[in-house]
């Protein structure tokens, strides 16, 4: 079992170890000194604890400030990066739209040129068809007129022949009637 002096010595190694029971006065003085030393040590430890807490609070505050600063820096860099990307994309979009407009204009010009070519080709075809029609109509008319003329001539011949036969026949009847 530990005596109070040994227990004190464990808490305060500088305190002398008293093993003699005769010297009770020295023991009280030593106990008081040990108690004072112990209280001083507790006070020093409390002071050091507060100092450590203060240092830790300061370190935490500094760390948080640095962290906020780093976060703001990262945010600023990211914002600048994405702003640059968006600006580049807008520039590319404008260029693409301009190219598309140029392509549309070229396409419209090509379509108009083709339409004009088709109109010219259609008019040329129409004119060629009209000339062919007119030529064929003239040939048909000429052929038909010739056939009609031949038919009329034939009719006239036939009519004259018939007329002659009728006249001959009438003359024959008149002669026979006169003889009778």
* Calpha distance 33→37 (Å, rounded): 6
* Calpha distance 91→174 (Å, rounded): 118
* pLDDT tens per residue across span 25-57: 566 778 888 888 899 999 989 899 899 999 999
DSSP state of 10: H
Does the model's pTM come out above 0.75? Answer: no
Instruction: Of 21, 24, 18, give the one whose Cα is nearest residue 5.
Output: 18
**Lowest-confidence segment of 71-75, 131-135, 170-174 by average pLDDT:** 170-174
Helix then strand then coil, % of the chain, to nearest 5: 90, 0, 10
Segments making up each domain of the chain, as ranges: 4-179
* pLDDT tens per residue across span 62-115: 999 999 999 999 999 999 999 999 999 999 999 999 999 999 999 999 999 999
* Calpha distance 26→20 (Å, rounded): 10
């Amino acid at each position: 079992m530990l005596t109070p002096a040994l227990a004190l010595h464990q808490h305060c190694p500088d305190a002398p170890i008293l093993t003699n029971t005769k010297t009770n006065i020295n023991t009280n003085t030593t106990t008081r000194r040990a108690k004072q030393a112990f209280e001083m040590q507790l006070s020093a430890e409390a002071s050091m604890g507060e100092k450590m807490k203060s240092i830790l609070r300061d370190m935490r505050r500094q760390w948080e400030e640095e962290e906020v600063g780093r976060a703001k820096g990262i945010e600023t860099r990211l914002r600048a990066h994405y702003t640059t990307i968006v600006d580049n994309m807008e520039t590319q979009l404008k260029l693409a739209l301009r190219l598309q407009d140029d392509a549309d204009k070229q396409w419209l010009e090509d379509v108009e040129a083709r339409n004009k070519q088709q109109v010219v080709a259609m008019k040329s075809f129409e004119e060629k068809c009209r000339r062919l029609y007119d030529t064929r109509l003239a040939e048909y008319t000429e052929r038909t007129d010739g056939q009609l003329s031949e038919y009329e001539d034939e009719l006239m011949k036939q009519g004259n022949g018939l007329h002659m036969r009728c006249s001959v026949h009438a003359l024959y009847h008149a002669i026979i009637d006169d003889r009778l």
